Amino acid sequence: MVSPMDQTLEPGLYIVATPIGNLGDLSPRAATVLRAVAAVACEDTRVTGKLMHHIGHKARLIRYDDHASDATRDHLLDLARQHPVALVSDAGTPLISDPGYKLVRLARELGIAVTSLPGPSAAIVALTLAGLPSDRFLFGGFLPSKAKARGEVLGELGAVKATLVFYETAPRLIDTLQAIAQLLPGREVAVARELTKLFEECRSGDPAEIISHYTAHPPKGEIVLVIAPPGAVQTSADDADALLREALQNLKPSQAAAEVARATGLDRKALYTRALELK
Ligand code: SAM
């Protein structure tokens, strides 16, 4: 949608990914587009104002999120029909646990051109750092904050044979790790924190180890939590017995077998037979 001769932009909606901490990660193409659009739809005009200042351009900023009124959405779409309009979020890729889905859907329905400029997304950065299988992964957005709902999501997604990626907040991290230790025993986790920033770290291991580290050093900043798929680590017969014994303290043999199967990827029927022996 960029005219090759004069770098003017065709009308339409431009989804523009922005840095998640390091301004050097703004792509040259993203900067070119942000300088050329008629307006930038953004979550927070102060945050995006700083980004625009960084690229030395003052653009018209229009606050937008998926709860915006129909009038705001219609206004943006009218504009995008005649001019280039960018959509950004505070950080990272729009629509990835961020606003934009409704706007993109409507723009496409109305035949307005939509294009996306790829760039940083914390989920992908974390996945590349975690050292866990990356051939198949499931992005789960934010886990629910209430314990019961969080447990249900972990139970449901924990059965999927894929690495799981969640956005998390520092104050909730330890509670979530405790839930993982209880509901998905034996699954390695990685905590990727402050990605692309000065204090970037990625700490991986058994949830119990990570819990004790962050109990001693309360986490700060932004966090992505990555959970190994079931069976990523080969479970020995002794380890399986230990997990079954622990689960049998609170659960019936069938439930214990299901829980250990979910955590390890081992066969549930074989685990059930073994659970009856151990009971
Ligand atoms: N759309 C964004 C993206 O593509 O990364 C994500 C937006 S979501 C509202 C914000 C969450 O992303 C944070 O709470 C945190 O879980 C994660 N996040 C964003 N930046 C991060 C960073 N630099 N390091 C670790 N996690 C980050």
pLDDT for the residue numbered 115:
98
Number of Cβ atoms within 10 Å of the Cβ of 121: 22
Q: How many helices (H) and strands (E) are present in the chain, helices listed first?
A: 11, 10
pLDDT for the residue numbered 233:
63
Report DSSP state, residue 25. G
Report the distance separating Cα 258 and Cα 279, nearest Å.
15
Contact 104, 98 (CB under 8 A): no
**What are the strands of the beta sheet with 222-227, ordered from one edge?**
137-142, 163-169, 222-227, 189-193, 201-205
Report the distance separating Cα 4 and Cα 53, nearest Å.
26
By CB neighbour count within 10 A (0-12 exposed, 13-18 middle, 19+ buried), where does 220 fall?
A: exposed
Domain map (residue ranges) of the chain: 4-120, 123-227, 237-278
* Dist. CA 68 → ligand 1 center (Å): 21
E strands of 56-200, at which residues? 61-63, 84-87, 114-117, 137-142, 163-169, 189-193
* Dist. CA 240 → ligand 1 center (Å): 35
Note the pTM of the prediction, 2 decimals: 0.86
Instruction: Tell which one of 15, 65, 97 to mutate to probe ligand 1, the residue whose CB is within 8 A of the most ligand atoms.
Output: 97
Dump pLDDT digits (tens) for 126-139.
Answer: 999 999 999 999 99
* Dist. CA 47 → ligand 1 center (Å): 14
Local structure of 160: helix, strand or coil: coil
Number of Cβ atoms within 10 Å of the Cβ of 8: 9
Domain 4-120 in CATH: superfamily? Tetrapyrrole methylase, N-terminal domain (3.40.1010.10)
Which ranges of the chain have pLDDT less than 50? 3-6
Residue type, 181: A
Dump pLDDT digits (tens) for 209-249.
Answer: 999 999 999 999 999 999 999 986 667 788 888 888 988 99
Closest CA to 26 of 130, 117, 133: 117
Tokens of 42: 């953004």
Pocket of ligand 1 (CB under 6 A): 20-21, 89, 91-93, 96-98, 121-123, 167-169, 192-197, 222-224
Inter-CA distances, 189 with 131, 148, 149, 163, Å: 10, 21, 20, 10
* Dist. CA 120 → ligand 1 center (Å): 10
Sign of CA dihedral 229, 20, 207, 176: negative
Beta-carbon contacts of 53 under 8 Å, excluding residues fewer than 6 positions away, are none
Question: What is the CATH architecture assignment of 123-227?
Answer: 2-Layer Sandwich (3.30)
Shortest-distance atom of ligand 1 to CA 122: 5
